[in-house]
Amino acid sequence: MDFGQIFTLTITQAFGVTALIYLFAAIGLNIQFGYTGLLNFGQVAFVAAGAYSVGVIVLTFDLSLWLSIVVALITSTILALLLGIPTLRLRADYLAIVTIAASELLRLLVRSIAFKDVFGGAQGLNGKLGQEFHDLNPLPADFTLPVLSWSRQDLWVVIVGWSLALLFTLFVWGLVRSPWGRVVKGIREDEDAVVSLGKNVFVYKLQALVIGGGIAAFGGILWAVAKQSVQPDTFQPDFTFFVFTILLLGGAARVFGPIAGTVIFWFLLAGFGEVLSSLINNGYIDFLTATDVGSIRFMLMGLGLMLLMIFRPQGIFGDRRELALDAR
């Protein structure tokens, strides 16, 4: 077994494009769930909104990628308002069911034959989605990394993605230390107390949903640009739950929680997958086949989410006192 190769593959995935997509969704969810206490089970809808905005503007309407980023933010804001205005007055479990239902509703709409001309149906939108972005790639054409296995194109995405992610983290850091941050944390701890101080709780919750959704939409934009493909069935509810796992692993209501969670989650998941695949391919394990690795990884992830929630809900770096669970 080539441990060196396994290690580099794992590191490549822990910091790679897919990890970044989840990271953006997790930073957004941290504002909504971690700080404000909103049980948003429909985070994937915001990622889909970002990805589909790019897909539709660039491929269906043949317009600029930069315009599509603006459209993505507008779409995610509209989505947050549509989702938030009816549901944010409801109890947490109702909010959870409605948000997950809304995300499924959106997925069924974009994959339907009725809107195939715009959204591409079940096949989605595939093509040169991020050309204008990749044209800006400053790396030399024959560039290859010495150790990690990113292509020139992926490396450019990763550099820009991580810069943006750090920028958003800085933004969250400032946000939660502002008066606004104190109010939303107050809502999470005791909504009635905040109401009695004369704050319009509903508006604050809506703002948290809009900001978190906007950051998650960047995950979708990155997805479309990096993978050059937007497919409806990648936006299943499970995506949201993986983001929850990442956030809870790193520690909800911690500024660096999403980053820590994403890197550790992908390091463990990818590392386990690579080791297991390698064991199977080299004949050390013969009761499993290479296709089983995927299911086992998901099984472990589900188990991980359960155990994390039962035994260490504050995650690795979190603070148990600062946890939205069961504020009411």
Partner 1 sequence: MLRRVRLALGVLLLTSVAFLVSGGLSPATAADTTITGTLTSPSGIAVTGVVITATGADGVSVSGTSDEKGVFVIPLPAGGSYTVELDVTTLPEGITLNNEADASRSLLVLGGEKRIIIGLSEGGESGIVTESSGTAERVVQLFLDGILYGLVIALGAVGLNLVFGTTGLTNFSHGELLSLGAFTALTFNTAGLNIIIAAPIAIVFAAFVYGWGQNRILWRPLRRRKTGLIAAMIVSIGLAIFLRYTLVLFFGGAPESYKQFAGQPGIALGPFNTTPKALILGALAILALAATVVWLQRSRIGKATRAVSDNPALASATGIDVERVISVVWIIGAGLAAFAGIYLGLTQNTVWNMGQRILLVLFAAVILGGLGTIYGAIVGAMVVGIFIQMTTLVIPTEMKTVGALFLMILILLVRPQGLLGRKERVG
Candidate list 66, 78, 123, 197; residue touching partner 1; CB under 8 A: 123
Among the candidate windows 62-70, 96-104, 175-183, 205-213, which touches partner 1 by CB under 8 A?
A: 96-104
Candidate list 60, 104, 118, 285; residue touching partner 1; CB under 8 A: 104
Hey, how many other C-beta atoms are within 10 angstroms of the C-beta on 283?
A: 7
3-state secondary structure 96-144: HHHHHHHHHHHHHHHCCHHHHHHHCHHHCEECCCCHHHHCCCCCCCCCC
Among the candidate windows 55-63, 70-78, 206-214, 319-327, which touches partner 1 by CB under 8 A?
A: 319-327
CB neighbour list of residue 129: distance below 8 Å, 6 or more residues apart: 54, 55, 58, 59, 65, 224, 225, 228, 229, 230
Work out whether the CA dihedral 293, 238, 324, 199 comes out positive or negative. positive
Rule CB under 8 A: is residue 163 a binding residue for partner 1?
no
Rule CB under 8 A: is residue 16 a binding residue for partner 1?
yes
Residues of span 169-188 touching partner 1 by CB under 8 A? none
- Which parts of 18-145 are beta strand (E)? 125-126
Q: What is the DSSP letter of 284?
A: S
Candidate list 94, 143, 173, 284; residue touching partner 1; CB under 8 A: 94
Which amino acid appears at position 274 of this protein? E
Instruction: Give whole-number Cα distances, 173 to 6, 157, 168, 246, in Å.
Output: 35, 24, 8, 19
Candidate list 305, 312, 317, 322; residue touching partner 1; CB under 8 A: 305
Q: Cα(first)–Cα(last) distance of the chain, in Å?
A: 51
3-state secondary structure of 126: strand
| Residue number, 172 or 301, with CB nearest to partner 1 | 301
Question: How far out from the chain centre does Cα 263 lie?
Answer: 13
230: β partners: 125
| Residue number, 16 or 213, with CB nearest to partner 1 | 16
Rule CB under 8 A: is residue 325 a binding residue for partner 1?
yes
3-state secondary structure of 230: strand
Residues of span 244-273 touching partner 1 by CB under 8 A? 244-245, 248, 269-270
Cβ 136 to partner 1 shortest distance, Å: 20
Residues of span 33-52 touching partner 1 by CB under 8 A? 39
Which pair of structure tokens corresponds to residue 15? Answer: 């910091």
- Under 8 Å between Cβ of 65 and 133: yes
Candidate list 7, 171, 241, 256; residue touching partner 1; CB under 8 A: 241
Rule CB under 8 A: is residue 304 a binding residue for partner 1?
yes
Closest CA to 126 of 14, 9, 228: 228
Q: Count residues contacting partner 1 (CB under 8 A)?
A: 72
Candidate list 87, 169, 262, 278; residue touching partner 1; CB under 8 A: 87
Cβ 320 to partner 1 shortest distance, Å: 12
| Residue number, 216 or 301, with CB nearest to partner 1 | 301
| Residue number, 74 or 312, with CB nearest to partner 1 | 312
* Cα distance between residue 279 and residue 287, in whole Å: 11
Among the candidate windows 12-20, 134-142, 155-163, 207-215, which touches partner 1 by CB under 8 A?
A: 12-20
Cβ 34 to partner 1 shortest distance, Å: 13
